[in-house]
Amino acid sequence: MELTITEALSEIKLTRSKIEKKREFVLEYLTRPSSRVDPLANSGGATQMIEQQLQSVSDLQERVIALRNAINKANNENNITVNNITRTIADWLTWKRDIWPYETRFWSQVGSNISNTRSSMDYDSARYKTGVTVVDDLIVHIDEAEMMKKVEQLQDIENRLDGLLSLRNAQITIEVD
């Protein structure tokens, strides 16, 4: 069966929903007092119906695994170029999950640290302005213009990447057994 990655991702979401419904069914009919009539007697009984639902869950889980494996294979075989950086889709997804948020947070902290220190020095300077007190200038050990470019590049890559991933997911077809 051939489908796009977008279709496969949609099927995974739908399959998860089906699995949850089947599990809810199992939990609903899992037990009953012995004095009550089996509400599923006409369909083979609760035990049989629960076994069928559990088997169906197992089959659906295998489908999710097959879909994910096909998606992973395609993601490892197809590239995307963002801002002259070419990586496999799998590598971009890893970058987006494991690098981008931490890199973005770090550079935000660097900017905040500089700003807070600068504000503190301005306060101290105003407080101690006398003819004999000399307040040091702030020395920043990083090029602030380059830092701002880095932050903008990270945001630009993330924004462009989202669009390109959506586009490629709609274009790339996978084969699922």
User: How far apart (Å, rounded) are the C-alpha atoms in residues 72 and 66?
Assistant: 10
Angle at 16 between CA 12 and CA 19, to 5 degrees: 135
Angle at 18 between CA 37 and CA 34, to 5 degrees: 15
Q: How far apart are the first and last CA of the chain?
A: 6
pLDDT tens per residue across span 73-100: 999 999 999 999 999 999 999 999 999 9
**pTM for this predicted structure:** 0.81
DSSP state of 38: -
pLDDT tens per residue across span 37-66: 999 999 999 999 999 999 999 999 999 999
The token pair that represents 161 in the structure block? 């990447």
Domain extents for the chain?
Answer: 2-77, 81-169
